[in-house]
Amino acid sequence: MTESLYERLGEAEGIDRIVDDVMAAHLRNPLVKTRYEAAEDIDHATKMAKEFFAAGSGGPDPYTGRDMLSTHKGMNISEQEFIAVVDDIMWALDKHGMTDETKKDVLAILYSLKGEIIRV
């Protein structure tokens, strides 16, 4: 039987570790760090990112946050910022030894959301 993306990412524990590394990378990334430093509640943002990643990859628990369009509306996120965030996510997946297939699947999901994030 083929493993789901959620299983390949290490289920809840694996996703928690990946998202923690992603958020740390965002706070170091000069292209997006000010957005994350200015976040009113970075812990809540991290929790929502973990839920979103888990639910979006086929996990059993629902995502309880706002949809992507509502979350990003009015932020005027540039293509460059979007790519920087994607690069940070790819770096974290590499760090955690994810396969090329898994990285490709995550990348496809991220790019499917592009229209709800960039310049909305």
Arithmetic mean of pLDDT over the chain: 95
Q: Provide the pLDDT confidence category of residue 2 given band limits of 50, 70 and 90.
A: confident
Cut 0.85: pTM above it:
yes
Give the separation between CA 95 and CA 120, rounded to whole angstroms.
31
In tens, the pLDDT along 6-22 reads 999 999 999 999 999 99
In tens, the pLDDT along 48-85 reads 999 999 999 999 999 999 999 999 999 999 999 999 99
Tokens representing residue 77 in the block: 């996120």
Share of the chain above pLDDT 90, in %: 92
Q: Assign domain 6-116 one CATH number from 2.60.120.260, 1.10.490.10, 3.40.50.2300, 3.40.50.12780.
A: 1.10.490.10
Domain boundaries, the chain: 6-116
